[in-house]
Amino acid sequence: MRQLTRLATAAIAVVVATPAAVLTMGAGTAGADTLMSFAQMFRRCDFSTNTFTGPTGMARAFAVVRTGSSEVVADVDIATAIPFTRYDVRLIQMPRPSSAPCNAGDPGVDASALVTDAAGAARTTVRGTVETGATGVWIFISRPSAFRQAPAEFYTTDFIADV
């Protein structure tokens, strides 16, 4: 019994310490990993907010963005989403004029898809070449709607990560 108690205490200590270690991986510095959280904020391609589209989902997402010599990579995780559902992920480079679209395949936009499992969890990696003049990136996760142009569900990062 005593050994089980020690094991449980050690496991709890690891779980509590892990987020602090992840957050101190060098967020905001070039070449380091940046942990990014998501919110249900609908954003335009220039990262400005659209106040007329409200939140609809219940998923929890986070991403780790890292840059190499000329590449940006984002590992995106989602949990508690709708099971067996496809979500589109876009890595959008900044600065970007408000008139420029940010659809998959547009310059400065790299895309991937993730499909959730029975528990509503999924993971994907989005990678692309850093565009000339890019200073940062942000991520947009969306679930397309069958009946309108606005996404049925969406999540965007809280800030723009440095590249």
Domain contains 22: no
Over residues 118-154, the pLDDT tens digits come to 999 999 999 999 999 999 999 999 999 988 888 999 9
pLDDT at 11: 46
Average pLDDT, the chain: 85
Confidence of residue 54 (pLDDT cuts 50, 70, 90): confident
- Summarize the confidence of residues 5-12 as an average pLDDT: 48
Convert the pLDDT of each residue in 82-122 to its tens digit: 999 999 999 999 999 888 999 999 999 999 999 999 999 99
Residue 132 in any domain: the answer is yes
So what's the pLDDT on residue 20? 42
CATH of the domain at 143: 2.60.40
Residue 10 lies in a domain: no
Domain membership of residue 118 as a residue range: 28-162
The sign one gets for the Cα dihedral 157, 67, 97, 88 is: negative
* Within a domain: 20: no
Has residue 5 been placed in a domain?
A: no
For the question of whether the overall pTM of this predicted structure is more than 0.75, the answer is yes
Q: Burial of 82 by CB count in 10 Å (0-12 exposed, 13-18 middle, 19+ buried)?
A: middle
Task: Please check whether residue 13 lies inside any domain of the structure.
Answer: no
Per-residue exposure over 42-70, b if at least 16 CB sit within 10 Å of its own CB, e if not? bbebebeeeeeeeeebebebbbbbbbeee
11 occurs within a structural domain: no
6 pLDDT above the threshold of 90? no
Structurally, the chain folds into a number of domains equal to: 1
Q: What is the pLDDT of residue 56?
A: 83
Q: Is 17 within the bounds of a domain? A: no
> Which pair of tokens denotes residue 24?
């101190």
